[in-house]
Structure 1
Amino acid sequence: MVLWGTAVNAAAIIAGGLLGLLLPKLKDGIKETVMQGLGLSVVVLGFSMALKSDNFLVVIACLVAGGIAGELLRIDKGLQWLGTQLERLVGNGGSGKVATGFVTTTLIYCIGAMAVLGSLQSGMEQEHSILYTKSMLDGFSAVIFASTLGVGVLFSAIPVFIYQGIIALAATWIALAFGDVMLNEMITQITAVGGILIIGIGLNVLEIKKVNVANLLPAIVMAALSVPVMALWN
């Protein structure tokens, strides 16, 4: 089953989120400290990913072009609107917590090399070991995020399933179209750009600076396309 690994990943997020909601209510001081720890961890993860690329000028160009495209497409507002609708659905009284949990964890779980590599592995090899590992990590973090950000974390399983499912279903075509060498370079560039976006998520979690990470998402597509474009150029 091509989508099995993706289904397990989505189920792990839901299970972890439910467990987080069932945990005894944490004191505000504990929640704040936990979120700070998560924010710092996310920033460190982002830095480790961002340094994967040897061509940082391409990464910068992708971020600029992707940011312009994201602003024109209003991706951030679209995600916030979807989060608001979910908030109305669960009757949270318009506090904004559901939307925040949904948007934050959706970005964290969808951005990164494991989401892409695992989905490609599922699609091309019918092997799901990478997504199994990602499921464990996402499920554990969902416990913490749900205990602090609430029920919105559970809904992030939906875009994760759609995003990774599309990659898994298209994996064979992608491999045939680009070949192993170019595909590996594309993943490297995607990882580097994704790492910078994850740093932005960490800054948001730490409330240091509000970064519209969602509007930078097209940069990931730009990063993937930059590899074949540069190959043709050369």
Structure 2
Amino acid sequence: MPIGVITNTLSIILGGFVGAIAGNKFSSDFKEKLNMVFGCCAMGMGISSIVLMKNMPAVIFSLIVGTAIGICVHLGENINKGAHGMQKCIAKIIKMDSVADENYISTLVTCIVLFCASGTGIYGSIVSGMTGDHSILIAKSILDFFTALIFACILGYVVCTVAVPQFAIFMCLFVLAGIIYPMTNGIMIADFKACGGFLLLATGFRMIKLKLFPFPVADMIPAMILVMPISAIWANYILPFVS
């Protein structure tokens, strides 16, 4: 049962409605400071996952190679292009007076990327499907409720529609993870969680808008695919040799 995925989707819908209704009652200072707390929470979740790491060389190698692949194939740029396409589809469904406003479109694209292609969501959906542990997605749901609320203060009810593609993406990951799980073991899963923890940490830095550390979170996503096979190769072949 995809409890985490459903909870996360409902949190965005509910947060979008609340933000659209009561958005004008929140000051810009309140929204900015709350977003800083979201970033801090994401980093805390990342650190709690990183400490589970079993094979540090395998995880670090996966992160470096995976990010390099993401950058080479322009994954981050392609995700942004996909978000722009989704924005156009949403504009056809919901009449928006601010569609011509470049700042409005930029904010909507940021919202789509954050909810549909975040490292936390991808990582949480896969862990939920593999192990039945929904805690990451449920914790993300708490953050997403308030994040959706803040976005809806600017964008209105359109934020609620972002939950539809987000649910579709996370459900696909949930189902695929259940198929992959029988081929894994405890060490591979621990290293997978640690790799996801690094993405959460990078996401936290992005959320607090720390310009000195503009981590390419979207480009880091391929590391999540590489880490388990690399962890298995390291544990079964390389580690016995070097030991």
TM bucket by the smaller chain? Answer: 0.7 to 0.9
For the pair 1:144 / 2:146, whether they are aligned, the reply is: yes
1:160-211 alpha-carbon deviations (Å, 9 max, x no partner): 532343442552x424434xxx2x2222111111111111111111111221
Residue number among 165, 177, 180 corresponding to 2:183 in the alignment: 177
For the pair 1:10 / 2:20, whether they are aligned, the reply is: no
Residue number among 110, 127, 131 corresponding to 2:121 in the alignment: 110
1:54-98 alpha-carbon deviations (Å, 9 max, x no partner): 322222111110011101221101111122233343344222101
CA distance, structure 2, for counterparts of residue 104 and residue 222 of structure 1: 22
Q: How much is the aligned-residue C-alpha RMSD, in angstroms?
A: 2.7
SS of structure 1 residue aligned to 2:102: coil
For the pair 1:94 / 2:66, whether they are aligned, the reply is: no
Change (3 A) 1:148 1:15: closer
The two structures have a TM-score, normalised by structure 2, of: 0.77
For residue 72 of structure 2, what is the aligned residue in structure 1?
72
For residue 126 of structure 1, what is the aligned residue in structure 2?
none
CA distance, structure 1, for counterparts of residue 137 and residue 21 of structure 2: 20
Does the aligned pair in 1 maintain the 2:126–2:173 contact within 8 Å?
no
Structure 1 stretches lacking a partner, 5+ long: 123-129
Bigger Cα Rg: 2
Residue number among 209, 212, 216 corresponding to 1:212 in the alignment: 216
Change (3 A) 1:52 1:63: same
For residue 198 of structure 1, what is the aligned residue in structure 2?
200
Q: 1:5 deviation in Å? A: 5.9
Change (3 A) 1:176 1:196: closer
Does the aligned pair in 2 maintain the 1:7–1:161 contact within 8 Å?
no
Change (3 A) 1:170 1:147: closer
For residue 168 of structure 1, what is the aligned residue in structure 2?
175
Question: Which AA in structure 2 matches 1:174?
Answer: I
Does the aligned pair in 1 maintain the 2:46–2:201 contact within 8 Å?
yes
Question: Which AA in structure 1 matches 2:168?
Answer: F
Change (3 A) 1:166 1:49: closer
For residue 22 of structure 1, what is the aligned residue in structure 2?
21
Question: Which AA in structure 1 matches 2:16?
Answer: G
SS of structure 1 residue aligned to 2:52: coil
CA distance, structure 1, for counterparts of residue 180 and residue 119 of structure 2: 24
Change (3 A) 1:29 1:7: closer
CA distance, structure 2, for counterparts of residue 4 and residue 202 of structure 1: 24
For residue 36 of structure 1, what is the aligned residue in structure 2?
36
CA distance, structure 2, for counterparts of residue 153 and residue 46 of structure 1: 26
CA distance, structure 2, for counterparts of residue 63 and residue 170 of structure 1: 20
Percent of aligned pairs with the same residue?
A: 18
